[in-house]
Structure 1
Amino acid sequence: MGYAQTTYYVASSGSDSNNGRASDAPFQSINKINSLALQPGDQILFRRGDTFRGTLQITQSGSSMSPIVIDAYGAGNKPVLAGSSLVSNWTNIGNNLWQATCSACGDRVTGVYRNNAALPLGRYPNLDVSNKGYLTVQSHSGRSSLTSQQALITNWTGAEAVFRPVNWILNRSIIRGQSGNTLQLDGSGNFNVSDNWGYFIQNHPSTLDQVGEWYYNPATKTIQLFDNQANPNNSSITATTRAQSIVLTSVAYITIRNLQLAQSVATGILATNTSNLVFSSNDVVQSGEDGISLQGSGSQILMEGNLIEDANNNGLIIGAYQNFTFRGNTVQKIGLLPGRGKSGDGTYIGILMATTANTLFENNIIDNIGYNGITFSTSTTIQHNQVSNFCMTKSDGSGLYIWNGNQQVMANMHLLSNVVFNGIGAPEGAPSDQPAEANGIYLDDCTTNIEVANNTVYNCAGMGIYFHGTSNSKLTGNTLFNNSEAQFVIRNVNGCPPQTNVIKGNQFVSRLATQPTAKYEASSVAEVANFGQFDNNVYARPFEDVNKIHVYYGNVTGGDGYLVSSVAEPIRA
């Protein structure tokens, strides 16, 4: 059966009363496109240089030979599909505060922009003060209240408290009431408040004291903006009003290319139960939460040559998908603002994948990430990527990370020829005795059957490569340099003693005397001997060439051990 394969044109100067089938008679709106019964082979072309506000919803499928194509036409910048609305008619209400009604706004606003530059959500204390704007918890009751070490003069009822209970979590909780220095919280999140850890307050009119800071009141649908330098009516101010820029629901054979998806409340593109999707040469920017989210399940996904930038939570989330390829993309500036991402674990991450099958990540740049660069799963190959400047908002993460604390079957995982560097760590909001670790490659809690070969890992504020209860894995041909805690660490986890690993042909090079080249930690000498095969590794610390391999055994990590001063392999020491 053949199809007409119609091409539809959309331009901001068009009209929805046009037939849309010629560039000189284009449609005008996304809503018009949503009303069409698209057929396999149809093309939707948005004019370059134009901005279209709304959510493009694709509910029809193409075919293997005739996909539905969403693309650009004309010359100039990529057409913008924006999830935001213009906010105008600002009124000066005194004290350098301006207020405007946002009738299109819903129960929350996740971003406000001036001339397409993001403005900061109001926060107390400000991000640029000491300790990056964290106050300190004196005492607490579960998740329901916290008492501040610092005096709280303002009544913060209705604001949001952001508290850091452990190194790798930031939780957000609405303040339901206040008594002196004690805040009553709504109890959201999975972690209790922790004494002596940090917290701050956001999204309240009393936080507004720096240029561009904003606050949204959903009850009155008004935005307040602090500005003592300019009249916001002389700028283009937008606020997030639509959850997504593109939504795909239970469709297949869709190609999307050459678009910019911007300023959504939640996600730039949300695809649910989608297969045979090609997503290429797009820019997904300024997402209120996640850049791209693939929910449900599907197969045959290709994402290539895209930019994912400035997402408050995660850059890319992948559900239970098969045959997923992510190639030649740049993912950057993800989860860099504390309190703007979601609560709990699995947040502030460049790429987060669930249980996938036959997944390939190659030739990507992952840079400036709040927590883990890539959190991966079984049946995945990650090769020839650059992962840099991670764990900038939370600590105890890594550039490449996997967890298997529930001890699932793992197989077919390969980390090959990646360059991982500048794990930063975020000490602010944590007690001074808490290490702000940022490891290069972290195989966490009972991981198995992973090949780690020919990677370069350097300048991380933690361990270069960390086998945490890891077994049946291969570490070959890697170069690790100037990682603060050690270049390579194998450590016992209760119930998962490391065993039958192959550690061969690696170079562990420490720049400083305080950096061991390797640490091998177990409950007994016999357990160390079962770690696996160690051959032809280089252990080098040129300026302090003694006691550079640390072997510990006993019940206390770092105690009851001994140091190896030569370059002999630890299994033979």
Structure 2
Amino acid sequence: MPLNHLSCSRGLRDDIRLAIFPEDKQSQQSRNQDEIIMNQCVSIYLFAGLCLAHGATAAEYYVNPTGNDAWSGALKQPNAERTDGPFKSIERAKQAIRVLKRRHAFTEDVSVNIAPGSYVLSRPLNFDLMDSGLPGREIRWQGEKATINAGLPVICKRRDAKFWDCPLTKRPEVGAFFNTDRIKGNAPAFELFVNEQKLQLARWPDRDWAHIKKPVDDKTQFSTMETLPAIDGDVKAAQVHIFAGNDWYDQYLGIDAIDRTANTIKVSEPTSYTLKSGRRFYIQNLPSLLNAPGEWAYDREANIVTFIPPEGLVPETVTLSSLPNILVADGAKNLAFKNIRFQYSTGTAITIKNGHDLMMDQLNVNNIGGIGIEIIDGQNVELRNSEIHHTGAHGVIVTGGDSKSLKTSGHVIYNNHIHHMGTTILTYSAGVEINGVGVTVSHNLLEQGAGTAILLTGNEHLLEKNELHHFCLQASDCGAVYTGRDWSWRGNVIRNNYIHDIIGYGMQRVGVEKNQVVYQSPAVAVGVYLDDGASGFDVSGNIFENAGSMGLQVGGGRDNKIYNNYFSTNDYAILLDDRWPTYDWNVNQKNLDASPYKTTLWRQKYPELAIPMHNKTWPEGNRIERNVIVTSKPEGGSLRYFVPKNSTVIANNLIWSTTGKLAVDYKVEELNMPVGGAPWSQWVSQGIEKGSIVADPCVTISDKRMTICPDSPVKDIGFMPLPEDIGLIR
């Protein structure tokens, strides 16, 4: 081996060591000598990258599980002498780029090529400003069937025909739940995966839910309808997953005591909502409950995990989620992460904070305890062409922009498949949550969620050409798209989406004396839920097909524009209400007063806010125009309008009932006389709905496209054609 190669390898290793461990300093003389060696090394390795790496540029690095962190990383495969080749770790490649910058050799794009295989982390990958690229000089981290793994692989043995035991040589790194507000108690804060399938902590009942019979007090103790099981071990280790008082908020609490004689449970902390009869819960995390396929338990003292494989599954790999995060980028710019798989974090897999011009493309983020990806502040961060699935809470959370100046974030969530989110916290764990100003969510497929698909707060967001289906699977009074309680969140556009099969699940009735409770699905669910005064929304060009018990609900909001949508429903298509007499509008007023709505910028952007409200408890200024509504509801009552006559525009809609009956619930606010199930002619006589017609639109929906017969009357209302590229772009 040439002497200069030996010297360069040593010099480069020393420089990397100093980059990682700056406290390990050499004398000034030694550093000067190393400087000479390193200058030679940079030249040699850059030349080697040009000549030996199969045409790669000087700014190309390679990482391979079979590599060596003492090598240059400039070669895709080891050389014949095995004196040089790819790095072994991603961390080593990151430090090599830092050295490249320090040597002023960062003159073009840099690519780090991550070979197929699993890269198991001992700590999260952290990127900051020092790891940034520059405009025109991007740093790309790109994989080829590469998996970055935050889990702890374990070796297990079959004990008998039923149980498998996994003695742990170390404990998972996690020390707390990812959400300590809604998850409390002594259960493990990590999860178990067998062949990449998440198992359920040992629980009772094994399937479905148990139910509260009677509260003993408001928030800590209750009797149960079902007979509690025999329980061995310390009940204080057990945890209850409970919907305490409704079907829209679940939480996990520790258990203080179980009394089988009285058939009562006492939780260790008060529930968030008052306990009510019939509400659902289950108990988990006691070894004595381990009896069903797909369950597991953890013995803390013995440090052993025991599980029963799911039926038909032969365990090949067993992994515990361990690290709270996989990748954290804070302040990094001009980076791209492409074609990489991320698995098994207990908290948030990827956090991008204060990032600028950063791209995530073709990622697969799955089996995550908490949130898949979180984007916090920064500018122009994009998530594209990726799959985010099986997350304990949200799939993606995005926050950015400035509400005072209405400066847009530029963040984009585009062409992603996001599914099976909210596997731990079932409610308000959205596929995508957007906050702030100016986030674009377009061409995504969101499906299979226990609760909401998209949660929205803030201003100037665009939801466009997404497909949303099968949401609210474990929640009632739930919206596929949900926002509310702020008059100042304006300028948001929801257009050209396909929203269908929004289900709902909730309690229908309870009979305490007969020990009976009935839950039903479908239940109360909404396609687009503009709740509690949500105002200034533009909802247009959407297809609502079986989109819940209400395709669109405007809950007392103002200045909303609902136009050019297609509704097909067997329940309500549009429900516009004035809330209820005891609703506290002071909450909305407080939120409005906290916004800069009196500034010149805001008055120009949202002129309606500059106009004094005639009556803040009325839903003033709404427009519902040029919509096509097809109902198959037996009595035909698919519209409810509780509106003021003087500020509402409802016009040029096309209505059709397949049953031949058509009815409207309405209340003219100036008259304050609600009417239920009024014939269409009676409603029209109120003089609010104008120019609308009743006729068969002759429309079909297939493959997310709307087809209109040549002689359809939709042209008579000025209905504009809908786009044909809704949903994922393959």
Give TM-score, length-normalised by structure 2.
Answer: 0.69
Task: State which of 140, 147, 168 in structure 2 corresponds to 1:101.
Answer: 168
Query: Paired residue for 2:350?
Result: 269
Following superposition, the deviation at residue 330 of structure 1 comes to: 1.0
Is the contact made by 2:667 and 2:675 (CA closer than 8 Å) also made in structure 1? yes
Q: Percent identity?
A: 18
Query: Paired residue for 1:449?
Result: 536
Paired letter, 2:425: G
Once structures 1 and 2 are overlaid, which stretch shifts more, 389-398 or 176-185?
A: 176-185
Are 1:492 and 2:578 matched, yes or no? yes
- Determine helix, strand or coil for the equivalent of 2:398: strand
Distance 1:188 1:341, change over 3 A: farther
CA distance in 2, matches of 1:464, 1:230: 40
CA distance in 2, matches of 1:570, 1:88: 75
Paired letter, 2:202: G
CA distance in 1, matches of 2:469, 2:674: 33
Are 1:462 and 2:546 matched, yes or no? no
Once structures 1 and 2 are overlaid, which stretch shifts more, 261-270 or 425-434?
A: 425-434
Are 1:71 and 2:142 matched, yes or no? yes
Distance 1:430 1:420, change over 3 A: farther
Structure with greater proportional strand content: 1
Q: With CA pairs under 8 Å and 6+ residues apart, which has the higher RCO, 1 or 2?
A: 1
CA distance in 2, matches of 1:90, 1:438: 46
Paired letter, 1:508: I
CA distance in 2, matches of 1:255, 1:420: 32
Following superposition, the deviation at residue 463 of structure 1 comes to: 0.2
Are 1:32 and 2:92 matched, yes or no? yes
Task: State which of 307, 314, 320 in structure 2 corresponds to 1:225.
Answer: 307
Distance 1:254 1:558, change over 3 A: farther
Residues 389-438 of structure 1, C-alpha deviation per residue, up to 9 Å, x if partnerless?
110122211222111x2x35122211111110001112269854898211
Query: Paired residue for 2:679?
Result: 564
Once structures 1 and 2 are overlaid, which stretch shifts more, 185-194 or 384-393?
A: 185-194
Computing the radius of gyration from Cα coordinates, the structure with the larger value is 2
Query: Paired residue for 2:393?
Result: 313
Task: State which of 220, 237, 254 in structure 2 corresponds to 1:144.
Answer: 220
Following superposition, the deviation at residue 531 of structure 1 comes to: 5.6
Paired letter, 2:147: V
Listed as ranges, the gaps of 5+ residues in structure 1 are: 522-526
> Which runs of structure 2 are paired with 1:504-543 in the superposition (5 Å)?
504-514=625-635, 516-521=637-642, 527-530=643-646, 532-543=648-659
Distance 1:391 1:469, change over 3 A: same
Task: State which of 125, 129, 149 in structure 2 corresponds to 1:56.
Answer: 125
Is the contact made by 1:487 and 1:517 (CA closer than 8 Å) also made in structure 2? yes
Distance 1:254 1:221, change over 3 A: farther
CA distance in 2, matches of 1:268, 1:421: 29
Are 1:478 and 2:565 matched, yes or no? yes
CA distance in 2, matches of 1:444, 1:456: 20
Listed as ranges, the gaps of 5+ residues in structure 2 are: 1-41, 47-57, 78-84, 176-187, 402-408, 511-517, 586-616, 689-730
Distance 1:63 1:566, change over 3 A: same
Following superposition, the deviation at residue 276 of structure 1 comes to: 1.8
Distance 1:33 1:104, change over 3 A: farther
> Which runs of structure 2 are paired with 1:73-472 in the superposition (5 Å)?
73=144, 78-90=145-157, 92=159, 96=163, 98-101=165-168, 103-105=170-172, 106-107=174-175, 108-127=188-207, 132-155=208-231, 156-164=235-243, 165-180=245-260, 181-187=263-269, 190-218=272-300, 220-227=302-309, 235-295=316-376, 297-321=377-401, 322-335=409-422, 337=423, 340-341=424-425, 347-354=428-435, 356-377=436-457, 378-403=459-484, 405=485, 407-427=486-506, 431=510, 432=518, 436-472=523-559
Distance 1:268 1:142, change over 3 A: same
Residues 301-354 of structure 1, C-alpha deviation per residue, up to 9 Å, x if partnerless?
11111111111211111123411111111111112x4xx127xx6x32111122
CA distance in 1, matches of 2:508, 2:114: 46
CA distance in 2, matches of 1:260, 1:218: 31
Paired letter, 1:427: G
- Determine helix, strand or coil for the equivalent of 2:420: strand
Residues 19-52 of structure 1, C-alpha deviation per residue, up to 9 Å, x if partnerless?
2222121222344346556346443321024444
Paired letter, 1:197: R
CA distance in 1, matches of 2:673, 2:86: 70
Distance 1:301 1:280, change over 3 A: same
Task: State which of 545, 550, 555 in structure 1 corresponds to 2:661.
Answer: 545
Paired letter, 1:482: T
CA distance in 1, matches of 2:461, 2:289: 44
Structure with greater proportional helix content: 2
- Determine helix, strand or coil for the equivalent of 2:618: coil
- Determine helix, strand or coil for the equivalent of 2:288: helix
